[in-house]
Structure 1
């Protein structure tokens, strides 16, 4: 009988290439080959070779000082992927409508493992700004959207995610207890609204609602990001607006009430 060859433990070139791309997207800045090798734990000779190959394929681009950054080919892939995401297109429409109605900043967020990622943003009226922009990732426990994004999971699954990924925020106000996070995540998901104030950035409030797929899982969130001093006077209106916007996306996708 033929024996099955053992799986090679050596890290593949594809895995190393993905590590390089992940590091650049996580750090949000160009990096040297030495930095990439040190951060990834890969041999420098391997990283130099991969950088040459990925640069030749336009997956990476070289800066004048020799550092490397994400290449133009990735933009083409990203745009092609996003163009097929009907859910994103519907959410983007709702995002702009919601921002126009409320005058506030609105974001579309999704889950990336233990992180919440901002994939769309509409600026509000006025001068209010936050540090998070499209492409920003923050731990799930820091934000209202982060809690909603795993609110559909089982009790054990939610607790496991938070036990593995919850970290203190810069403001020191983000909850890190997995049991509390698992409970409040589920409560917010069932209520259809989640609120966080001062946990990710000082004086910033986030009011988010889940967009559910056909199975009832949280596909993404719509969230209004605003100065916390406006919350007491506007909370009810904003909560109703963001809930309604999320439901409009679900209706357009045919998932509202499906699960």
Structure 2
């Protein structure tokens, strides 16, 4: 590989590091802090940041900080609009939110994290901290476990052993073997329920959305107060399972 090719690859890697760090932190950062976080020479990061600002990949936030730019949103929205799963899930998500009056989320796997890719708030205006774009470790949520549930047990154990970490509430399971067993069981039952693992007094009731191969590509979930979830678990579980089946049917997946 030529020196120029290596230089281009290096610049791309640094660009992705900058974008990933801002996405992870979910807040503007100074170029100096970005340089410290990447471990790259400050002069390199300053140059890349200036180029990204010129191309609207980053935007100014305050006097000394930068944030993700509007060009990224255009790319993201275009990508998402072509995802058949998301389009069908969005329609079902909005219908379920209207039917139940609860907040409904669509989640997908993003490497070792679970990301909220769609949300429709219910009419009761229950305050949910996890908005679209929120990323949390897979072991923190019902949806996170389901997203690994289709894998064989050894692979689930391997992944959970590498990425499981304590939640802020201290109630998320971190034992890789227990998580792998739970994820497999919940996937088989097409339902996962989580109480106060990532947010205090918040419950999540989720069902897997599978492709034609049987892999879980996304989840649809109801996010609501824990007290209400405990009182109406069966009704809500039936509703979210049916919504997942509706999405799969719309995508042409035959019922098993």
- Shorter-chain TM range is over 0.9
Q: 2:67 aligns with which of 61, 66, 69?
A: 69
Q: 2:119 aligns with which of 118, 121, 124?
A: 121
Could you say which residue in structure 1 is the equivalent of 2:35?
37
Quick one: distance in 1 between partners of 2:16 and 2:221? 30
Could you say which residue in structure 2 is the equivalent of 1:224?
222
Flag the 1:72–1:33 CA change in 2: closer, same or farther, 3 A: same
Q: What value does the CA root-mean-square deviation take over the aligned residues?
A: 1.8
Deviation at 1:63, TM superposition (A): 2.2
Aligned to 1:222, the other structure's residue is in SS state strand
Does residue 81 (structure 1) correspond to residue 101 (structure 2)? The answer is no
Does residue 250 (structure 1) correspond to residue 223 (structure 2)? The answer is no
**Structure 2: where are the runs of 5+ without partners?**
none
**Which stretch shows the higher mean deviation, 59-68 or 209-218?**
59-68
Quick one: distance in 1 between partners of 2:90 and 2:220? 9
Deviations 1:24-73 (A, max 9, x none): 11111110011101111111111000001111111111123121111111
Aligned to 1:12, the other structure's residue is in SS state helix
Quick one: distance in 2 between partners of 1:22 and 1:72? 16
Could you say which residue in structure 1 is the equivalent of 2:158?
160
State the 4+ residue runs in structure 1 displaced beyond 4 angstroms.
4-11
Match runs of 1:175-186 below 5 Å: 175-186=173-184
**Which stretch shows the higher mean deviation, 185-194 or 96-105?**
96-105
Aligned to 1:20, the other structure's residue is in SS state helix
Flag the 1:106–1:252 CA change in 2: closer, same or farther, 3 A: same
Could you say which residue in structure 1 is the equivalent of 2:199?
201
Match runs of 1:230-241 below 5 Å: 230-241=228-239
Could you say which residue in structure 1 is the equivalent of 2:53?
55
**Structure 1: where are the runs of 5+ without partners?**
none
Corresponding residue pairs, total: 255
Deviations 1:180-228 (A, max 9, x none): 0000000000000001101011111100000001110001000000101
